[in-house]
Structures are given as structure tokens and as C-alpha cells.
């Protein structure tokens, strides 16, 4: 039993994710697990930081993937302690199996699932709406409209979970996760229960006979929760009435509520009523239908799928996604919402793209900058080696910064985390059946290898699939902001010691006999290693592994500084370096028809010295400049 009290009570400006983290610690959560993923990544490190500062005894850990994190947290709640699992929306696809089955359990300790959605999407491979997943699993879902509301919902979600013994979902979307707002800070709630696992197979073993009991029970719980949402949660579900006779009612949840509120205020409209819903599932249907009845027309604003809309039996009066009033994809940005309102209210649309500004952009050739690997990024060097070693190869890849290898024409296909390994198998099989002799070189990052690469590798060894797996080990989970992973070995809480898991050892343990490691910056060695691995794979009829190692530039470690320049005499303007190396520090001047070093970005890593086939990239110091 734990009792921790802390006496901080002030306001602070927090990122939405930090506010959620603060709520998790204050609510007395004892086990928090996650796997990073934008826009959720900042939550768990902030939980660890607040837990350290406030002296919470809680455990805070990265799981190796979302299924692992979910199961760790769920099982912890079986003991009666409060626990939570945190992930991004596609993470829940990975954790869908335990999510669906534990949803049916009569849980004991409060179990909070935080799933961050990414309408837009800004940094994701789908635009899915996790509230739909809550509906699928028949569990309650909170949809915060701001950072401070998200924090408050954490407490209510834990309470609700304990009251009805169900998983409770908090679904912030990216604009809540990454908003910055002043938030009230509180103390850690004392934990009054007892942490104890009580043996009870009828409760904790999901046999079909048990499901036949639990499923109707869950249905009944859901109706009770709906009733509670109709009456008890007025702080999340409330009407902002029109001051005059209403011409329009709007039902809005999440950040769409915040956006439409600001727009109505700036338009000065007093004839539009808004019903805010913070608990979209199970929807307080009576509250919403009563609202619909009061207004001549009703608009639904929610992201990203029509989750509330679909729970209304009679949609004839509703303007939303079912009839195309609200776009079926993409983020509901202020400009989009303002456009929808303008159409409905018959007012002038907000100023669109100005023609003079459009001309400016065209004349100056200004376009949005696409994401690119950082200058000095080791992945760029690895991709260059891989492409040059086997130009004819098919290159499946994976989810990480190295997805940007597509700019170097070194990434041909991506599905999801771990897919590079299994696509390697699938392509190899198709080639084999058709009698095609074409190399396959897959690329995967260190964090993604641990996340979901290993099962595919075991399968490839077992089935004897000859292809090359290049593991791009930059000693971090870079894409999501630099979290540790098993290959790094660090943990989140102060004083917590982890143990480093050796990638070479894992590959050998999986049964791979050809495992080689090269320095990613050494292009010549990288090329050789890939050629050699492909020969070995063919000969032994099994996957071969090459590990490209160099720390991520974001870790800002010291490394040799090798200033370079492009010799205009030797540069023939072939753009080989632009097409296959693609570095922000190496750009092409269309006027002179030659490449040059853009010193705003170049970090003098020196890798491009071995890139130019004409030897036009040269070291500066060599010539005494």
C-alpha cells in the first residue's frame, strides 16, 4: 500500500501531453507503460519527470511495442492498482488483440488507455478515429477539447473505470496533445486500496464460456455508463445556448468544439447554439436528440470519423459526414470549419488564397519544404551504400526517420512497423515462384526491429528466405523524438537501470548465421557488406543481416568535423548527388548548373566526399583554405 502526498499547487504552461501526464501522476497511477508514437510520445517521459519531482513510487516503462505496453498495464490493474497504457492511434492496431479481449473483463484497478489521434494526418500512416475502436470494443471514451480538460478527464476516466470495472479510453487528438496552455497543478491523490492479485480464473481467464457471461454484462454496463453521461458529466457535456432565436445548432466534440467556439465569437453570432460533447461513446443520445429537436438544422463537427453522428438513429436533420456537408477526410482546421459555416449561414467565406500571394509563390518558386533526413544523418549514408551495392534490388522499408529514404530512391514499399522484414519474405517468395533472380534488401531501424521486426525474422529463418535485412541502428527512436529502446538500455525514471539488448546477439539467436556490422558513414565498407550479405543469403538460402551503426545526429554527440566544398571545375551538373544522396546541405544551383554546399545546413560530416562520381566534392582543409 502506498500513500504519497505532495504539496505543489500552482499553474504552469504545459503541453497537452504534459497535462495528461500530470493527471496520470496526480491520479495515483502506479504502473504506466507506453510505446512512443506521434502525437502521444511526450506523455510517458513527462509521467516519469513528474513522478520523479513529486516522489511517486510508480513504475514508468517503455514496452517494446504497444501490445507489450498494453498487456503490462492491463495486468497491473488486475491487482487493484491504477494503471495506464499510452500509444498513438495505429499503436492500438498493434494492441488490438489484448484491447478487445480485456474490454470484456470485469476489471479491478482503474485502467486508463490513452490513444492519441492524428487528424491530418501530420505524422501517421492512417487517419483512423480511435473513438471508433472504443465503440468496437464497447468501452467508454473521453474526447478532450483542451489540455486542461484532458488533464481533468484523466481523473474521471480512472474513476469511471473503477466504478464500472471497464477499460476507459482518453482520446486526445494532435491539437490537444501539442497545444500549450496554462494548466492547474495539483497533488498526488492518496491510494486507498491494496495491491493484491487474487486468484479467480472466472475473472481473469478469457475462456469462451466466460465471454458468454461477460458480453451481455458489458452491454448492460454500457447502458449504465450512457445514463451517467446523460446526467453526471455536465462539465464535459453542456450546451452553450444561443442568445437569440437559433438558426443553427452545432454538436461538437474535441478540438472542433474549441475551434467553432472561437469562430462564432469572432463572427459575433448570437443565433447559433453549440452542444459540447466530451463523452462521444457511449453517446448521451437523449441529450443530443433533445438538442437536435430544438433547432431547425444541426451541424455535427467531430474528428475524424462520424462517430457521434452514427449513434443518432434519425439523421435526417443532421448536416455532417453522411451527407457530405463535412469533408470525409482531413483535419477540421479553422479555415475548413469557417468555410462550412459560411455555406450554411449564407455569409461570405473567409478570405481564400490571395492572388497576389499566389503569384509571389509561383514567381519565386516557393513550395512547402518536404521533410528530409537531417544533415549528417547516418541513414542517408546507409541508403547510399545499399543502393549503390545492388542497384537492381527491391527495397522494402519500414516506419522511422528512414522512411524518408524514399527521397533517395532507396525505399520502394512501406506498410507498417516490422513490415520491411515480412515484405522481404513475401517478395522473395513471389520471385522464387516466378523464377526471378532479383535481390531484396529490406531496411529497418533499431526501435522498429525490436517492436515487430523479430517475429518476421524468425519466420524468414524458419522458412529459409534468402534476402538481406539492413538494420539501421542509430541508437535511438529518432522519428518520435529520441526515446530509448532495448538496444540503448536506458530507462525513464531516475535511478532505474535497464539492460542493453544486443542486436547482433538477437539476430544470431533467431538463427541468422550471416550477421555483419559496419560503420554507417563508411560508404565503401557498407557497399561491400551488402554485396557479401546477398551472396551469403543466396548460397545459404536464409536471410542475412547487415547492421549499419552510427548515432543519430539529434543525440548531438561529438564527431570529426570535415568541411567540404564543391569544386565547380569538376562538377558537371549531373545531379547524381541530389538524386541519390539528397542532403539539405548539398543543393543545386539551376542558374550555374552546378551543385554547392549550403552552409546554413551542412554539418561537415564528410560523407558526401565519397558520393560524387566525378570527385567534385572535396575537403576544404586539404587545400589549406
Of 316 and 367, CB closest to another protein: 367
CB under 8 A: which stretch of 35-43, 134-142, 509-517, 586-594 binds another protein? Answer: 35-43
Q: How far is the CB of 410 from ligand TPP (least distance, A)?
A: 14
| Among 45, 91, 306, 320, interactor with ligand TPP by CB under 6 A | 91
Q: How far is the CB of 609 from ligand TPP (least distance, A)?
A: 23
Binds 300: which of another protein, ligand TPP, none (CB < 5-8 Å by kind): none
- The Cα–Cα gap between 185 and 18 comes to 11
Measured over all CA atoms, what is the biggest interatomic distance in the chain, rounded to whole angstroms? Answer: 82
Q: Does 256 bind ligand TPP (CB under 6 A)?
A: no
Q: How far is the CB of 112 from another protein (least distance, A)?
A: 22
Contact residues for 319 (Cβ-Cβ < 8 A; gap 6+): 297, 298, 299, 300, 325, 326, 344
| Among 49, 108, 151, 175, interactor with another protein by CB under 8 A | 175
Q: How far is the CB of 160 from ligand TPP (least distance, A)?
A: 26
Q: What are phi and psi of 53, to 5 degrees?
A: -65, -40
| Among 32, 242, 250, 479, interactor with ligand TPP by CB under 6 A | 479
Q: Does 11 bind another protein (CB under 8 A)?
A: yes
Burial of 203 (0-12, 13-18, 19+ CB in 10 A): middle
| Among 45, 109, 282, 400, interactor with ligand TPP by CB under 6 A | 400
Q: Does 480 bind another protein (CB under 8 A)?
A: yes
Of 36 and 466, CB closest to ligand TPP: 36
- The Cα–Cα gap between 211 and 538 comes to 49
CB under 8 A: which stretch of 10-18, 304-312, 426-434, 503-511 binds another protein? Answer: 10-18
- One symbol per residue from 27 to 46: x for binding ligand TPP (CB under 6 A), - otherwise; what is it? --------xxx---------
Contact residues for 467 (Cβ-Cβ < 8 A; gap 6+): 424, 425, 427, 428, 439, 440, 441, 442, 460, 537, 543, 544
CB under 6 A: which stretch of 128-136, 186-194, 444-452, 523-531 binds ligand TPP? Answer: 444-452
To the nearest 10 degrees (0 to 180), the angle between helices 285-294 and 208-231 is 40
The C-alpha cell at 198 is: 487474487
CB under 6 A: which stretch of 144-152, 349-357, 445-453, 518-526 binds ligand TPP? Answer: 445-453
Q: What are phi and psi of 165, to 5 degrees?
A: 55, 45
| Among 2, 79, 101, 123, interactor with another protein by CB under 8 A | 123
Q: How far is the CB of 176 from another protein (least distance, A)?
A: 8
Binds 373: which of another protein, ligand TPP, none (CB < 5-8 Å by kind): another protein
- The Cα–Cα gap between 40 and 481 comes to 11
Q: Does 382 bind ligand TPP (CB under 6 A)?
A: no
- The Cα–Cα gap between 479 and 481 comes to 6
CB under 8 A: which stretch of 69-77, 295-303, 318-326, 331-339 binds another protein? Answer: 331-339
Which of 408, 434, 389, 361 minimizes the C-alpha distance to 579?
Answer: 408
Contact residues for 617 (Cβ-Cβ < 8 A; gap 6+): 564, 565, 566, 567, 577, 586, 595, 608, 609, 611
Contact residues for 585 (Cβ-Cβ < 8 A; gap 6+): 375, 597, 598, 599, 601, 602, 603, 608
Contact residues for 539 (Cβ-Cβ < 8 A; gap 6+): none
Q: How far is the CB of 499 from ligand TPP (least distance, A)?
A: 18
CB 516 within 8 A of CB 523: no
3-state SS class at 515: strand
| Among 306, 445, 526, 585, interactor with ligand TPP by CB under 6 A | 445
Q: Report the interface residues with another protein, using CB under 8 A.
A: 11-13, 15, 38-39, 41-42, 122-123, 145-146, 175, 178-182, 255, 257-259, 261-263, 266, 333-335, 338, 350-351, 353-354, 356-357, 359-361, 363-364, 366, 368-374, 401, 404, 479-481, 584, 599-601
Q: Report the interface residues with ligand TPP, using CB under 6 A.
A: 35-37, 66, 88, 90-91, 94, 125, 399-402, 417, 445-448, 474, 476-480
Amino acid at each position: 500500500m502506498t500513500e504519497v502526498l505532495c504539496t505543489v499547487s500552482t499553474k504552469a504552461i504545459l503541453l497537452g501531453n504534459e497535462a495528461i501526464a500530470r493527471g496520470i501522476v496526480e491520479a495515483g497511477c502506479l504502473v504506466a507503460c507506453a510505446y512512443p508514437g506521434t502525437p502521444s510520445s511526450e506523455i510517458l517521459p513527462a509521467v516519469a519527470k513528474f513522478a520523479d519531482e513529486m516522489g511517486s513510487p510508480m513504475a514508468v516503462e517503455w514496452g517494446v511495442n504497444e501490445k507489450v505496453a498494453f498487456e503490462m498495464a492491463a495486468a497491473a490493474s488486475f491487482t487493484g492498482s491504477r494503471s495506464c497504457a499510452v500509444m498513438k492511434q495505429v499503436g492500438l492496431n498493434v494492441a488490438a488483440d489484448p484491447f478487445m479481449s480485456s474490454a470484456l473483463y470485469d476489471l479491478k484497478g482503474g485502467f486508463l488507455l490513452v490513444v492519441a489521434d492524428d487528424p491530418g494526418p501530420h505524422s501517421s500512416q492512417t487517419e483512423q478515429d480511435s473513438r471508433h475502436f472504443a465503440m468496437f470494443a464497447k468501452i467508454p471514451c473521453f474526447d478532450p477539447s483542451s489540455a486542461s480538460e484532458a488533464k481533468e478527464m484523466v481523473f474521471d476516466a480512472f474513476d469511471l473505470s473503477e466504478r464500472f470495472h471497464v477499460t476507459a479510453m482518453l482520446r486526445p487528438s494532435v491539437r490537444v496533445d501539442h497545444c500549450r496552455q496554462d494548466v492547474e497543478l495539483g497533488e498526488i491523490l492518496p491510494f486507498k486500496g491494496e495491491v493484491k492479485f487474487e486468484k479467480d480464473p472466472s475473472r481473469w481467464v478469457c475462456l469462451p464460456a466466460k465471454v458468454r457471461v461477460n458480453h451481455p454484462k458489458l452491454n448492460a454496463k454500457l447502458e449504465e455508463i450512457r445514463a451517467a453521461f446523460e446526467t453526471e458529466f455536465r462539465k464535459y457535456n453542456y450546451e452553450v445556448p444561443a442568445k437569440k432565436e437559433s438558426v443553427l445548432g452545432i454538436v461538437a466534440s474535441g478540438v472542433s468544439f474549441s475551434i467553432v467556439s472561437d469562430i462564432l465569437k469572432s463572427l459575433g453570432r448570437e443565433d447559433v447554439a453549440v452542444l459540447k460533447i466530451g463523452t462521444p461513446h457511449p453517446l448521451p443520445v437523449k441529450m443530443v436528440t433533445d438538442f437536435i429537436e430544438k433547432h431547425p438544422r444541426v451541424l455535427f463537427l467531430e474528428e475524424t470519423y462520424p462517430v457521434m453522428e452514427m449513434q443518432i438513429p434519425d439523421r435526417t436533420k443532421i448536416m455532417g459526414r453522411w451527407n457530405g456537408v463535412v469533408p470525409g477526410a482531413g483535419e477540421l482546421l479553422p479555415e475548413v470549419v469557417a468555410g462550412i459555416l459560411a455555406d450554411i449561414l449564407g455569409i461570405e467565406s473567409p478570405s481564400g488564397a490571395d492572388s497576389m500571394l499566389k503569384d509571389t509563390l509561383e514567381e519565386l518558386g516557393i513550395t512547402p519544404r518536404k521533410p528530409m533526413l537531417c544533415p549528417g544523418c547516418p541513414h542517408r549514408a546507409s541508403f547510399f551504400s545499399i543502393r549503390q551495392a545492388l542497384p537492381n534490388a527491391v527495397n522494402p522499408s519500414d516506419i522511422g526517420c528512414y522512411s524518408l529514404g524514399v527521397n533517395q530512391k532507396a525505399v520502394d514499399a512501406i506498410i507498417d512497423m516490422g513490415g520491411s522484414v515480412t515484405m522481404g519474405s513475401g517478395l522473395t517468395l513471389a520471385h522464387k515462384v516466378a523464377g526471378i533472380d532479383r535481390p531484396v534488401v529490406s531496411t529497418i531501424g533499431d526501435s522498429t526491429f525490436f517492436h515487430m521486426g523479430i517475429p518476421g525474422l524468425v519466420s524468414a529463418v524458419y522458412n529459409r528466405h534468402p534476402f538481406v535485412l539492413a538494420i539501421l541502428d542509430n541508437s535511438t527512436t529518432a522519428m518520435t523524438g529520441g526515446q530509448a529502446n532495448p538496444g540503448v538500455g536506458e530507462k525513464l525514471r531516475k535511478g532505474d537501470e535497464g539492460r542493453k539488448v544486443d542486436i547482433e546477439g538477437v539476430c544470431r539467436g533467431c538463427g541468422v548465421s550471416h550477421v555483419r556490422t559496419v560503420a554507417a558513414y563508411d560508404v565503401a565498407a557498407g557497399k561491400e557488406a551488402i554485396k557479401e550479405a546477398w551472396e551469403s543469403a543466396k548460397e545459404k538460402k536464409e536471410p542475412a543481416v547487415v547492421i549499419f551503426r552510427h548515432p543519430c545526429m539529434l543525440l548531438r554527440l561529438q564527431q570529426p568535423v570535415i568541411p567540404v566544398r564543391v569544386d565547380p571545375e569538376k562538377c558537371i551538373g549531373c545531379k547524381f548527388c541530389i538524386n541519390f544522396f539528397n542532403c539539405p546541405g548539398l543543393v543545386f544551383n539551376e542558374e550555374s548548373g552546378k551543385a554547392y554546399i549550403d552552409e546554413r545546413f551542412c554539418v561537415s560530416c564528410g560523407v558526401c566526399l565519397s558520393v560524387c562520381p566525378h570527385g567534385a566534392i572535396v575537403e576544404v582543409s586539404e587545400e589549406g583554405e
